[in-house]
Amino acid sequence: MNFIARVARKNYTSCYFHIVVKGINGEYIFRKKEYMEKYKNLLKKNLINHQVNILAYCIMNNHAHILLYTEEKSEMSNFMQKTNTSYAKYYNFYEDREGYVFKGRYYTQDISSLKQLYNCLVYIHKNPIKANLVTKMENYLFSSYQEFFQDKEIIDNKSIKLLGLNVDNYYDDLIKIHRIENITDIFDIKEYVDSQQILRKYENNYEKPIKRLMEQKEILEKIVVDLNQKSGMSIRKIAEVIEINKNKVNKILKENKE
């Protein structure tokens, strides 16, 4: 029987989140090993005072992925704000610069099924391979993959349980999960960048925040069509990014094809 089918089903909506943080203007804000180590240590430190659990992470040169569990979205917001604010101060000091370090707040994708949860886990851990930095996941130092098999720093037993795995015997199942090849329903960093550029363009052109612009039916339709055609985003991902019902997105795209 397929491993995913054997794990008890539960409602993942509103508790599991895929978070993407990116350097402003594509800047390589984690270009040094000590910078990556600092961000990793901040994630670890801030877990203590916040009701969140990190299930996976990967810190790349200009962005980072975090798979996080929390029952309160406000806890996630506070955790990320504290982590990113502290890192921005650190980065600006050592780079002798001022201003924003991260591109916007951060992007959050809700994880709504066990399959999507595992896809996200694998996507995060395979990021360094995709970027041709390593040939094996376990060889990348700033990813949670090696923590599951060696010394745990950020990943703990609760993280393992929240992934639906047996704390006492999970190695084989975790390896099976990472054999997943066709990753779907996970927000790619390129799509993230493309979508944010499109939304920023609308805000600049109309000099209004995107939420206000979406109140106008004609502009909302243009935004949806642009996200679909220019960034290649699916209906589901568009709905997540601009936070509207996916049926509405589907309806807009159908009407604009006619």
Q: Give the DSSP letter string of 42-99.
A: HHHHHTTTSS-EEEEEEE-SSEEEEEEE-S-HHHHHHHHHHHHHHHHHHHHHHHT--S
- The yes-or-no verdict on residue 11 having pLDDT over 50 is no
71-73-77 Cα angle (round to 5): 135
Which pLDDT tens digit goes with each residue over 163-184?
A: 999 999 999 999 999 998 877 6
Closest-CA residue to 52 (of 43, 60, 63): 43
Q: Count how many Cα atoms sit within 13 Å of the Cα of residue 145 in the half-sphere of its side chain.
A: 26
Confidence of residue 43 (pLDDT cuts 50, 70, 90): very high
Distance CA 243, CA 160 (A): 30
Distance CA 42, CA 80 (A): 10
- Rounded to two decimals, the pTM is 0.74
- The yes-or-no verdict on residue 3 having pLDDT over 60 is no
Work out the burial of residue 68: count CB atoms within 10 Å of its CB; fewer than 13 is exposed, 13-18 middle, 19 or more buried: buried
Closest-CA residue to 45 (of 95, 105, 85): 85
Q: What pLDDT, on the 0 to 100 scale, is given for residue 1?
A: 32
Confidence of residue 82 (pLDDT cuts 50, 70, 90): very high
Q: What pLDDT, on the 0 to 100 scale, is given for residue 190?
A: 63
Burial of 225-251, coded b for 16+ CB within 10 Å and e otherwise, reads bbbbeebebbbbbbbbbbebeeeebee
**Residues 67 and 56 sit within 8 Å (Cβ to Cβ):** yes
Average pLDDT, the chain: 87
Which pLDDT tens digit goes with each residue over 169-222?
A: 999 999 999 998 877 667 666 666 677 778 888 888 888 888 889 999 999 999
- The yes-or-no verdict on residue 16 having pLDDT over 70 is yes
Confidence of residue 73 (pLDDT cuts 50, 70, 90): confident
What number is the average pLDDT over the span 103-110? 82
> Which tokens go with 92?
């600006």
Confidence of residue 151 (pLDDT cuts 50, 70, 90): confident
- The yes-or-no verdict on residue 126 having pLDDT over 70 is yes
Closest-CA residue to 199 (of 254, 234, 242): 242
Which residue blocks in the chain are alpha helix, DSSP H?
3-6, 33-46, 73-95, 114-130, 157-162, 171-177, 189-206, 210-213, 217-231, 235-242, 246-255
- Give CA torsion, residues 98, 47, 21, 85, to 10 deg: -20
